[in-house]
Amino acid sequence: MNGPSIIHLDLDAFYSSVEELDNPELNGAKIIVGGNSERGVVCACSYATRPFGVRSGMPVCKALELCPEALVLPVRMARYRELSHQVFGVYFKYTSLVEPLSIDEAFLDVSASIALFGDALTIARKIKKDVREKTGLTLSAGIAPNKLLAKMASDYGKPDGVYFLTQDMVDDFLMPMPVSRIWGVGRKTQDKLEVLGVETVRELRGIEMETLVRLFGEKAGHRLYDMARGRDERRVELPGEAKSVGREQTFAADKRDLGGIERELLKMADQVSSRLRDKSLKGRIVTLKVKYSDFRSMTRRLTLSEATCHGPEIYQAARELFRSLDNRGKAIRLLGVTVSCFGGGEENQLFLFEDEKSNRQHRLDESLDRIRGKYGEESILPGSLLGPEGET
């Protein structure tokens, strides 16, 4: 059967749905998953909060103003990753062409699977059934001739639905739609289009390509012109190698104690090193990001003589970068440590002619990774992070 073969799958209110799954008494509750109520950001929210205007990305304090009775829960990333891994395992049963967009959504190209499993609509329904039976979670599916339309179609299926869009349905689907609903059109683009009196896709189609190129540049102008017509030539692609591995922390209260800040750097370096080893990566460039209480940001980087995945080496570089800044008397809101410039996925193994110090570090890393793999990322920490001084 000929027809659309691109599927966009999106887990419904994923983080909050996991919280309801693990705590059935929360079913239907107004849930916000994010940081603390003073400085945190909403990472996810249940459907019950959305009529109040609560949305991902807004400050938790603002969300609680809109919905005071909402329950704020901490982010449990290890649990979300566990269930995401199970869900993606289902996807790979039906096709090897799976392109993750995030922990909770992906594109699938099922063109080579139709002979075995049925058309794309049948496959989407089977995946939804398998995911529910395996995890208890629901997802929404959009099926369309290309990625742009599939992504937009899945929004029409929410929650727990399927929206099937064939080529001859595209104009009726797109033309009445506000331009804000086009995947990839952000606030700045909307503002420029509003100046032209453009609010809908129908009105966007009336703008000449030359005008769009003049306003938005060659690439973006052509892209807007094509999107208004539902055109998207991008293939579903397997993810490439990571370009960087990092960790950022926004503090509940601005920090001024330099010793405490360096303990935070140690903790971040330790977490980044663990993630590098999990991906069998070593990097040569360590980048430090510092954001102050006045929201000014500073970024510094250091290139190491050799690629590393060891926490102490990453920490030493991050601390050196931090001390190169004039932080005296300044309150710090955010810290970030990132490692990049990878050497091609080296396996972390002991080499016969390595010095004893290096061998000890490898053995320590292996022990740390085994413990964290079993008990979680923060089940074991550097000794200087334990006790009252190390509490963050």
Buried-exposed string 6-18: b where 16+ CB fall within 10 A, e elsewhere? bbbbbbbbbbbbb
Written as six digits, the tokens of 194 are 């509003």
User: Taking phi first (over 0 means left), then psi (-120 to 50 degrees means alpha), and beta for anything else, what does residue 258 get?
Assistant: alpha
Residue 231 burial (CB count, 10 A): 15
Residue 1 contacts residue 19 (beta carbons within 8 Å) = no
User: 90-123: b or e for each residue (b if 16 or more CB lie within 10 Å)?
Assistant: bbeebbebbbeeebbbbbbbbbebbeeeebbbeb
Q: Which DSSP letter does residue 34 get?
A: E
Across the beta sheet with 105-109, the strand order is 98-102, 105-109, 6-11, 139-144, 162-164
Q: Which of 20, 99, 105, 313 is catalytic?
A: 105
**131: buried, middle or exposed (CB in 10 Å: 19+, 13-18, 0-12)?**
buried
Q: Please indicate whether residue 313 is annotated as part of the active site.
A: no
Tokens 């249940």 -> residue: 46
Residue that is written with structure tokens 């339309």 in the block = 149
Q: Which residues does the annotation mark as catalytic? A: 105
